[in-house]
Structure 1
Amino acid sequence: MAITWDGVARSYIPADELTIPESLRLHTAAAEAVDPVTFEVIRYSLLNTNLEHGQTLQRLCVSPVTMITRDFQPSITTETGDLVFLGPYLQYFSNAQSLTIKWILENRADDPGIEPGDMYVSNDPYVGTPHQPDTIVAAPVFVGDELFCWVSNVLHHADVGGSVMGSFCMDATDIFADPPAFPPFKLVSGGHVRKDLEQMFLRQSRLPTNVHMDLRAAISANFVAAGKVTALVERYSAEVVKAVMNRVLDAGEKTIDERLAKVPDGQWSHRLYQEAAHTGDAGAYAYQITVRKEGGHLYVDNAGTDPQTGSINVTYAGFSGAFLAALTASLTADLAGAYGGVYRRVHFDPTPGTLSCADFPAAVSPSGIYTMETLISLSGSVISKMLACAEPEVARLAIGPAHPSFYGLIAGGMHPDGTPFIATNADNMIGALSASPAGDGVDFGGHFWIPEGTASNIEELELLWPMLFLYRRALPTGADGAGKFRGGRGFVEAGIPWTVPGMAAAAYVDESFPKAVGTFGANPGSAGHFRLKHGTDVVSKFASGEVTLDFDATAGLEPPVEAKGPLLMMGADAMWEWTGGNGVGFGDPLARDPEQVRADIAAGAISADTAARVYGVVDGDTAAVRADRLAERLAAAVVPAEIQTAPADATIRVLAGELAIREEDGAFVSATGRAVLAPAGGNYKDGCAVLERPLHSTEPEYRTREGRAGWEIVYREYLCPVTGRRIDSEIVRSGDPALHDIVIGSLA
């Protein structure tokens, strides 16, 4: 039985040919030729119109999450919704607007119609948004009586309703406990805002004034962008501008085609786990992505992902947006947002009813801090595996996994004057970039999926919300993020309520195990933590001029915190601390250049004791210490009964880290030990020595308490059976099979 992707019973996935009523006239005529100078002038005018659209949003919005963090995205699409230009803002919104516009064309063109001066609003995840706070405003641009193109934006609103302030409803078991999801409705008709529908939308919010101003900002920014496109058409003609749009799409498609030509056909998979589907849950849940490359096309599926449950779901819009954000950041970042042509070469085949392609009525509102980041990290990992098999000039483009959650805190309460506030702390925009095949990650390097995202100035937050911040500083580099090249450093931040008797923490992240797996033998990244103490003496110490800078040394009662717990009440004597995370490393930590480790010690990024524990770098004989560590690994591992090695005259090509192939027959081998791991098409893990232990027992950075999801998670290391070098690793539920994650060559 055919699956119906209609945006009602399940997500909307448009067909190759849209069903659009003939009553809506579309502008499709394009000039056959455009001279190079005119082409560049129009192309840059369109690009700058979209950038100015984003700047207009930033200046008009009042919520910090948009005004400061840049949690928004403007775009220009063709008349049928194909992306022409995207801005340098939140990249997984890349196809959200396109999907929504295509749905409007198929479902609203007859009734109530699409006319000049109209704008449609939607926050329906089953149509096109990642979750309900992300609200799309889409405006058609007409030339005469023909629909020429669309300008649109999507931005995150501070609160759009639901059972929890801030609209991240961790306790939701289905969408009926989530914020309302509005399919596209015509909010602006003929240039005039329909007050009845605007009031309907605002009525759901705990912060209607803020949402009202941000919604009007979105409408105004669309008017500005539409006016600039219209002026461009009046100057150069609709046919010439449309020709430039089409050529921009064609150029993007040509670019991805040229780069995919340097990637062999094959298949690559990766799997990540998230914990706790809802408040009170301690389960671990699998998400998987597989990419098959055939010729100049990519085929993406989510087979192996667990069935939808609780509130950790996302719809097709989020799944596809996450993958496209990671793909374009890796392979085509130089296209500067002109990604529509790239999308032509990516084909999705999702399994419905899963965590990453949920059917109605699954709850999805918390996806903005959990599932979306899980899928972006997962996508970055699987794309890195694919690019590792490519020719060198393409392989070097790999950027690795992102943070698997958006660490932070959403708190709320009342200002001293009695007005409500919701504090969406997005300081994790400070970020940390993972290591690459070429070098260390970037300390405090932001996130590749939101290039223009910024963290707030502390003073700005203290001005906006009744809070006092005690410190914001770098995380140390320990085992988390270690590798031949280490991940970038994250940060830790602490604060207290100020001038109010208390507040509540509505959304926070406290992980019992790290989610991001190290790339090609590197250690896992950080687990994000949220900690809280009641009854502290922080405020009383101010009288003697003492500022608290150490959470552990602060007196008070620290209650246990769950991954997705309930509202946490915080009195005036409370103190909280939360961490971002270190990015993951690349390659075996025991292969890191000792001088790089010593440089980190000198810079204060790592202690000498930790350097010895994690990297085997000591003042004495580092080589001997490392040799002992490798031998200890093999002694504790299950080693294959028979080990074959490639002859000395065999040509070995390193893919990444310790994983290589023998050029003569494509067999997988280890780079330093030259152990033959599997024939071409086989699973290289079958020939590895395997060391499996509870993850919490491996390093202090990964400890957790019994009863939490992380207690049952195991760390599975795949080692060269000759040298003990780590080739790869997996963080898995005990008993889950090894993933056959790299197949090079045709699958026919």
Structure 2
Amino acid sequence: MTTNSSYVPAGYDPVTLEVLRMRLDSIVEEMGSAMIRSSGSPVITESGDFNTALFDPEGKIYSYSDFVQFHIGSGSVAVQNLVAEIAGEPLYPGDAFICNDPHTAGSAHPPDTNVISPIFYGEELIGWAQSQAHLVDVGGMTPGGFAPGAYDCYSEALRLPPGVKVFERGKPVEWVRRVLLNNVRVPTLFWNDVRSLVASNNTGIRRLCGTVEEFGLEQFRDHTRVNFEIAERVVRERIALLADGVYTADEWTEHNGHVNELYRVHCTMTKSGDQVTMDFTGSSPQTDGFINLSYGTLIGSVASALVPILAWDVPFNEGVMTACTVLAERGSLVNPEPPAPISNGHLTTGARVSRLVTKLLNEAARTSDSELIRARTQGVWADSWTGGISAGTRDDGEYFVLFNMDGGGMGTGAQPVADGLDCGGMMTQVNNALPDVEMNEMLYPVLYLWKRLNTASVGHGAHRGGHGHEFAWTLHGAGEVTQTVFAPNAQVVADGFGGGYSGGGSGHAVWRASNVNRLIDEGIVPTEHALHSADRELLEINQQGIAIGAEDVFVQWVAGGGGYGDPLLREPALVARDVADGYVTESAAVDVYGVELADGAVDGAATERRRAALRAERLGGQPTRPVEAGAKADSSAPRRDTQGWYCPASGARLSTGEDWRADVLTRTSIAAQRLGELGVRVRTRESEPAVLLEELISPSCGTLLETRIRVAEGEAR
């Protein structure tokens, strides 16, 4: 969004405001470039798991880079807590502070390490430069910083609170450096990345001081304040277009590292006028597993959904989140207290928060009077990173830790006008990237056997949810590694919207004692069908200490996004193309989309008959009202007028009540079983409570109005 003159207060030049805003955005992007060029970690250089930002002296955001959005909250809390911690202490140009403790510094988890540097103009403190990145190892019980086996935060990593000075007047604080490097497994890589964060901050400091020199300090302060106000005004106008009301929804975090239980993430969203409140009261208490979410990352996870849905074209600064209040009980899953472990809360519970906010905004947007806002409804993104961390010693004796960023290849939710992105990443990852196979093979002793779309992850719909991907590797240059895995989107998968189905789940397996090396020696490509193994071991959702040997094959599959609209409304030609491209199987084309093909081409008459038969099957009889030919993808999402709710695909009336769901046909089944019938892979839950799929159907025309994942009442936490 460029600065619209209608938002500019009298006496201010919109061009000057925009030039300054863009200058700040350019500075934080240049900080990111400096980090990438000076870091030796593929987590930073290949996958962009970092953020850079500039803050005012009090910790308000001047500008934030478009890399990982949930760092919005963790970075802000880190700067604000640092300001409070060092109040009254001497501060000099060239100082830099390091912190990574989720409880005291707001970090998403201990590997996400902040370096924060003061910015002086002359002798006056005018702000802070902040750089944060995932460092490959930060000590603790498990290589890589993710600790499924931890029962408290003390086991997870070396914890650095705000106020630890790592550079003073431009030089390393030697005793701090020694303590840090004594507690990590890859000290050379760790220290180089700390230096790259400092280099990023130094770049921001130079550029910001040059900007202040050009504009003058008073004009800089005044114009940044106005830009805050403009951003806040735009977001408030968008919020005002949502339907007023109180909305509630749940999501569920799976498996805390010790037990395969489900943990409730609950939110009540109150929207009134141009203000929205997200109240997470009612979420599960904190647990003794690594899925607890720091409060700073709770804020960032809310922003991860709210910003792209309502502020998609608003450059991020302090004003963007001003209209949103976030509440959470202390001691809960989403606002824990020590000694709660927290090393994977952001990728599990945090991702569930983003999914939850998406569902709540979908509900408030669907009855908006604004077509612009209704168009922001969407299938829910897969989110919930699927992780694999390998650690061991190479054949040459060098110790290594591989945090494989391929875990970010999950599918996004479908949109009203388009399919979701394949391997698009989490909602929080604006600039998601996956590592090159060749880069991982060059840096680590692994050999990839395949890397492909996970077609069993697709969220079927009039527009499809994005696919996740699947890959397999075997060791090449190491005899054995110890593996840590987490697959937080295995059982409770992402919802579709408006009749779109849920996407598939994620998971890991080890194919033990395989013939992989013999195939390679014989020059045979080790495909899935050519590989034989003594056992194909399905790993736990969260597990550590898994031994993988040179004859084993490690397989990981990543989840897909939810679909949008009834699959029977998808354009038949698109289904035919999907089959030809291998995105959808021919059986799914017939049984899910109702499209009959003859030699790869659509048989129009047979397709009409097949779709009519599927609608009749949904109702257990013949529909009484036909669906209009050419109904659009969003025509299965119920709409409201003065007479109540209706189905746009046929015009059939659904309900005159506040909630149309009570007056339509609902089919309930076990989610893994029902989605499996549609060719979608979801892990079966072996214990209570059951994970269910509800299909809500128009009783007049057989249109699929909504599907939703629900956890049965019972033993859920």
- For the criterion TM > 0.5, the same-fold answer is yes
After TM superposition, give the deviation of residue 173 of structure 1 in Å: 1.9
> Any conservation in 2 of the 1:533–1:574 contact (CA below 8 Å)?
yes
Q: How do 1:63-212 residues align onto structure 2 when only pairs under 5 Å count?
A: 63-110=41-88, 112-126=89-103, 127-185=105-163, 186-212=165-191
> Any conservation in 2 of the 1:494–1:578 contact (CA below 8 Å)?
yes
Which residue, 18, 26, 34 being the options, matches 1:48? 26
List per-residue Cα deviations over 1:145-195 (Å, max 9, x = no partner): 432111111111111122111110111122122223321122233333212
After TM superposition, give the deviation of residue 503 of structure 1 in Å: 0.9
1:265 aligns with 2:244: yes
After TM superposition, give the deviation of residue 655 of structure 1 in Å: 12
Q: How do 1:299-318 residues align onto structure 2 when only pairs under 5 Å count?
A: 299-309=277-287, 310-318=289-297
Separation in structure 1 between the aligned mates of residue 145 and residue 640 of structure 2, nearest angstrom: 53
Separation in structure 2 between the aligned mates of residue 508 and residue 662 of structure 1, nearest angstrom: 42
Please name the residue that 1:22 is paired with: none
Q: Which runs of 5+ in 2 are unaligned?
A: 1-8, 598-602, 626-631
> Any conservation in 2 of the 1:512–1:710 contact (CA below 8 Å)?
no
Separation in structure 2 between the aligned mates of residue 243 and residue 523 of structure 1, nearest angstrom: 49
Indicate the SS of the match to 2:313.
helix
One-letter identity of the residue aligned with 2:41: S
Q: For the structure 1 residues 142 and 551, does the alpha-carbon distance in structure 2 shift closer, same or farther, using more than 3 Å as the test?
A: farther
Q: How do 1:342-361 residues align onto structure 2 when only pairs under 5 Å count?
A: 342-361=320-339
Separation in structure 2 between the aligned mates of residue 508 and residue 70 of structure 1, nearest angstrom: 20
Question: How many residues end up aligned between the 2 structures?
Answer: 688
1:634 aligns with 2:619: yes
The sequence identity of aligned pairs, in percent, is 25
Separation in structure 1 between the aligned mates of residue 656 and residue 159 of structure 2, nearest angstrom: 51
After TM superposition, give the deviation of residue 372 of structure 1 in Å: 2.7
> Any conservation in 1 of the 2:381–2:560 contact (CA below 8 Å)?
no
List per-residue Cα deviations over 1:508-564 (Å, max 9, x = no partner): 427542421112221111111211111111111122210112168533321231111
After TM superposition, give the deviation of residue 424 of structure 1 in Å: 0.9
One-letter identity of the residue aligned with 2:351: E
Indicate the SS of the match to 1:356.
coil
Indicate the SS of the match to 1:699.
helix
> Any conservation in 1 of the 2:411–2:465 contact (CA below 8 Å)?
yes
> Any conservation in 1 of the 2:98–2:115 contact (CA below 8 Å)?
yes
Separation in structure 2 between the aligned mates of residue 599 and residue 151 of structure 1, nearest angstrom: 49
> Any conservation in 2 of the 1:388–1:656 contact (CA below 8 Å)?
no
Indicate the SS of the match to 2:241.
coil
After TM superposition, give the deviation of residue 673 of structure 1 in Å: 5.9
Separation in structure 2 between the aligned mates of residue 400 and residue 194 of structure 1, nearest angstrom: 49
Separation in structure 1 between the aligned mates of residue 586 and residue 35 of structure 2, nearest angstrom: 48
Q: How do 1:561-710 residues align onto structure 2 when only pairs under 5 Å count?
A: 561-619=539-597, 621-635=606-620, 657-664=635-642, 667-672=644-649, 677=654, 679=656, 682-700=658-676, 701=679, 708=686
Q: For the structure 1 residues 510 and 350, does the alpha-carbon distance in structure 2 shift closer, same or farther, using more than 3 Å as the test?
A: closer
One-letter identity of the residue aligned with 1:373: A
One-letter identity of the residue aligned with 2:440: L
After TM superposition, give the deviation of residue 380 of structure 1 in Å: 2.7
Please name the residue that 2:305 is paired with: 326
Which residue, 255, 260, 270 being the options, matches 1:292? 270
Q: For the structure 1 residues 32 and 98, does the alpha-carbon distance in structure 2 shift closer, same or farther, using more than 3 Å as the test?
A: farther
Please name the residue that 2:393 is paired with: 414
Greater shift, 453-462 or 705-714, is seen at: 705-714
> Any conservation in 1 of the 2:69–2:428 contact (CA below 8 Å)?
yes
Separation in structure 1 between the aligned mates of residue 462 and residue 664 of structure 2, nearest angstrom: 20
After TM superposition, give the deviation of residue 475 of structure 1 in Å: 2.3
Which residue, 408, 426, 432 being the options, matches 2:405? 426
Separation in structure 1 between the aligned mates of residue 529 and residue 28 of structure 2, nearest angstrom: 45
One-letter identity of the residue aligned with 2:100: N
Please name the residue that 1:718 is paired with: 696
List per-residue Cα deviations over 1:361-380 (Å, max 9, x = no partner): 21110224323322223333
Separation in structure 1 between the aligned mates of residue 335 and residue 570 of structure 2, nearest angstrom: 39
> Any conservation in 1 of the 2:383–2:426 contact (CA below 8 Å)?
no
Separation in structure 2 between the aligned mates of residue 539 and residue 317 of structure 1, nearest angstrom: 47
Q: For the structure 1 residues 173 and 735, does the alpha-carbon distance in structure 2 shift closer, same or farther, using more than 3 Å as the test?
A: same
One-letter identity of the residue aligned with 2:58: T
Greater shift, 668-677 or 458-467, is seen at: 668-677
Separation in structure 2 between the aligned mates of residue 56 and residue 535 of structure 1, nearest angstrom: 45
Q: For the structure 1 residues 358 and 722, does the alpha-carbon distance in structure 2 shift closer, same or farther, using more than 3 Å as the test?
A: farther
After TM superposition, give the deviation of residue 584 of structure 1 in Å: 1.4
After TM superposition, give the deviation of residue 75 of structure 1 in Å: 0.4
After TM superposition, give the deviation of residue 726 of structure 1 in Å: 2.3
Indicate the SS of the match to 2:544.
coil
TM-score, structure 2 as length reference: 0.90
One-letter identity of the residue aligned with 1:221: S
Indicate the SS of the match to 2:319.
helix
List per-residue Cα deviations over 1:590-613 (Å, max 9, x = no partner): 222222211211222222222112
Q: Which runs of 5+ in 1 are unaligned?
A: 1-30, 646-653, 738-748
> Any conservation in 2 of the 1:479–1:523 contact (CA below 8 Å)?
no
Separation in structure 2 between the aligned mates of residue 359 and residue 675 of structure 1, nearest angstrom: 51
Please name the residue that 1:560 is paired with: 538
After TM superposition, give the deviation of residue 400 of structure 1 in Å: 4.1
List per-residue Cα deviations over 1:4-30 (Å, max 9, x = no partner): xxxxxxxxxxxxxxxxxxxxxxxxxxx
Indicate the SS of the match to 2:236.
helix
Q: For the structure 1 residues 240 and 33, does the alpha-carbon distance in structure 2 shift closer, same or farther, using more than 3 Å as the test?
A: farther
Separation in structure 2 between the aligned mates of residue 409 and residue 693 of structure 1, nearest angstrom: 32
